[in-house]
Structure 1
Amino acid sequence: MPVSALILAGGLATRMGGVDKGLVPFQSKPMIQHVIARLRPQVDEIIINANRELAYYNSLGYRVLQDEITDFAGPLAGMQLGLKHATHDLVLFAPCDSPLLPADLVQKLQAGLLQANADIAVATCGTNKHPVFCLCKKTLLPSLDSYLALGHKKVQAWQKNQHYIEVDFGVDNDAFENLNSPDDITKLESKLAQRGNESTDTL
């Protein structure tokens, strides 16, 4: 089945000093470019949810949608946009600040969703849940509209009230690490550089 993807880049990024996270460099390239590069082979459509730096996001060549709910309502506002405006009946959501997301993210989530005949498949790593990495059916839009209209914003609370399945990607997995601060970026870049050195040393 074809899949649309919406990249969540609409937050305030307070721990990043207010700088739009999608534009923050990771390994000398804006984080959202890493996310797009990893998603492009996996999906049939990419949409970006952004509320700032719109000129830059539009320059990437994908549809850019702003929250329809005011005051930065969080990830669910972006999910609402995806369920409303995506071309395809399955919509993947992923944040802009996880540049190492798995190359098999869509494959695994879709397999779990279809096998369980569920409406939402959420990525997990052992006991760690990653609710903004999820695959949803567009038919959930009325449920999400109602939830948001009541002023609720918690992603997991809404998800768990649906026909919901978790898909485990393994306990030790950096792929879902959110880079919320400059320190997070420095640590992950150092870790990857160390791994590269270790690989070279074994040659």
Structure 2
Amino acid sequence: MLGVVLAGGLASRLGGVDKASVGFGAGTLLDAVLARFAPQVEALVVNANGDASRFARYALPVVPDDIGGHPGPLAGILSAMDHGAKNGFSHVASVPVDTPFLPGNLVARLKDTAARGGAPIIFAASSAEDGRLLRQPVFGLWPVSLREDLRSSLSTGLSKIVLWADRHGSESVPFPSTDIDPFFNVNSAADLDEAQKLNDSAMY
């Protein structure tokens, strides 16, 4: 299982800053995500564009989007799939860099569902107030064997995760609500302030 932290977005609602390096807790958003995600996978890569040297202290491979124009998370997932194929991995697990409270059992539960032999692509899901499951498609488990189909689809302009995934079949794994939403993502300065408060409250 290869894990990829998706950090290739434009962060337009945060003023175009590099989300991975945004201060959070005692470190950065990337530090927080890695602390939760790294123990769940056999190896890690960071999907990011631009100067890869800014990640040097992590000693992790950095895989940029191979497709230009910032087509979205699927491009980062494809880059991770290509890296995984070259290094003997059968699956990629993905999480975004702006989710510092991601579940500590995310990958285990996605793998358990995949092992039952249902759909090839597995998503995490949260529960809406009305009881509906809300797919969290950036938190996913992806067979490396689908990478050429994904490459072809991206070349035609398809960029929406669920549209591509549902062509192949997908299944959602519900994660229970807790005091802190495990899928809380930092998209704005207000979100960052809220995440800092949640993090502080959880520590004491």
Q: CA deviation at 1:162?
A: 1.2
Are 2:196 and 1:189 equivalent residues in the alignment? yes
Computed over aligned residues only, the root mean square deviation of the Cα atoms, in angstroms, reads 1.5
Are 2:172 and 1:166 equivalent residues in the alignment? yes
Structural mapping, 1:115-194, within 5 Å: 115-126=116-127, 127-172=133-178, 174-194=181-201
Q: Is the 8 A contact 2:95 2:139 kept in 1?
A: yes
Q: Is the 8 A contact 1:20 1:52 kept in 2?
A: no
TM-score by length of 1: 0.90
Q: In structure 1, what is the equivalent of residue 96 of structure 2?
A: 95
Deviations 1:153-187 (A, max 9, x none): 11111111112111001245511111111210111
Q: Is the 8 A contact 1:144 1:158 kept in 2?
A: yes
Q: CA deviation at 1:38?
A: 1.1
Give me the whole-angstrom Cα distance separating, in 2, the residues matched to 1:170 and 1:145. Answer: 34
Are 2:111 and 1:104 equivalent residues in the alignment? no
Q: CA deviation at 1:195?
A: 4.8
Structural mapping, 1:20-39, within 5 Å: 20-39=18-37
Q: Is the 8 A contact 1:80 1:145 kept in 2?
A: yes
TM-score by length of 2: 0.90
5+ residue gaps in structure 1?
Answer: 198-203
- SS of 1:80's partner is helix
Q: CA deviation at 1:118?
A: 2.4
Give me the whole-angstrom Cα distance separating, in 1, the residues matched to 2:71 and 2:163. Answer: 15
TM-aligned CA distance change 1:57 to 1:195, over 3 Å = closer
Deviations 1:115-157 (A, max 9, x none): 1432111000122211000011111112211210111111111
Q: In structure 1, what is the equivalent of residue 130 of structure 2?
A: none
Q: In structure 2, what is the equivalent of residue 5 of structure 1?
A: 3
Give me the whole-angstrom Cα distance separating, in 2, the residues matched to 1:21 and 1:195. Answer: 22
TM-aligned CA distance change 1:75 to 1:157, over 3 Å = same
Deviations 1:54-88 (A, max 9, x none): 21113310000111111212101101111111131
- SS of 2:122's partner is strand
5+ residue gaps in structure 2?
Answer: 128-132
